[in-house]
Structure 1
């Protein structure tokens, strides 16, 4: 099977410290336009876990999703239309008590549990790569068949806002993400291509 790469643009808001959770309030865009086959997602994550809110071509609303590269077969999600443009939504991913001394990674939307991942952890388990990602992908190409030049970028959306962004540290305390512990960066794939300027608002 050929390796593939997404034609995507993202802004990552990472923290360098080990985490037990990540949370943010999102103000979804008031409008969006997506080329056929593309999608937009805004998610929190750590390690191989990524959970958030997304929409896709052919849809008028948004849904929650929960993915993990470390958990085989993970592709949980709600129905498109569960959230609408301009909604304010809190998304929270954390390692939380499941039963007795067993901890599991759980995803909450507006404080409602949406998904529990299967791997078990302990109260001392921490994760690297805590982050928010604001991104969109227009297409997927085989790595040996990437168009050059790339097609015009056709995914557009109104401003997305993030606020009240926090990570749960190794002591279990929620810490506000700010310029002293995070360095937001725009990124894109495929590499070695010109990237339009991206704007991050509301960290």
Structure 2
């Protein structure tokens, strides 16, 4: 199944031992189709597994203005109850603990602990913050792609930082990371019907503000 998506990716080439950010969720989010999602998450690669952990909503929950936390490894996934309201400010963290296990924290509480299987956890790579939305899913990709219909107002991801080998939290900046310079439109290489509905972004040290509007 192919996803019709838009992605902003703020990454670092450095090996890290944790990531964190504080997310102020959009006050409104809308879907025209009964499929898709809006995700804001931290991602890392460690012990031969990709981990994605963050906050999400979907069409069935937006009528009640609900979001929840989620995690995904590509092999399995789960999430918390749909009880976070739009506009809420929620700190999230994905980092190693003193036992070399990977913890996902939401508002300071550990909601999921990952245990390495194939090999022990070491430094984490492919560390990133992702702002993404999926409008539809296709069995086969239409060409041209249909007009984009999923929207949300501003999400603010603030205090985006990584933890180094000394245990120090370092704020992401142009000196130590690769901030998003453009939106990734997926699938690539296809014509669009109507507007492509690009993100509007404001970047500063440790912060991205992104909205997806008309």
TM range (shorter): 0.7 to 0.9
User: What count of residue pairs does the alignment treat as equivalent?
Assistant: 189
How far apart, in 1, do the equivalents of 2:133 and 2:72 lie? 16
Q: How does 1:24-173 map to 2 (within 5 A)?
A: 24-34=21-31, 35-47=33-45, 48-59=50-61, 60-69=65-74, 72=75, 74-81=76-83, 83-98=84-99, 103-119=100-116, 125-142=122-139, 145-173=140-168
Q: RMSD between aligned alpha carbons?
A: 1.7
How far apart, in 1, do the equivalents of 2:96 and 2:134 lie? 28
Structure 1 position 173, deviation (Å): 1.7
Query: Which of 7, 13, 16 is the matching residue for 1:16?
Result: 13
**Runs of at least 5 residues in structure 2 that lack an aligned partner in the other structure:** 209-214
**Runs of at least 5 residues in structure 1 that lack an aligned partner in the other structure:** none
Q: Which has the higher strand share?
A: 2
Provide, for residues 159-203 of structure 1, a one-character-per-residue CA deviation record: whole Å limited to 9, x for no partner: 111111101123322110012222222212101135443222333
How far apart, in 2, do the equivalents of 1:153 and 1:111 lie? 36
The answer as to whether partners of 2:23 and 2:156 remain within 8 angstroms in 1 is: yes
The answer as to whether partners of 1:104 and 1:119 remain within 8 angstroms in 2 is: yes
TM-score in terms of structure 1 length? 0.87
TM-score in terms of structure 2 length? 0.82
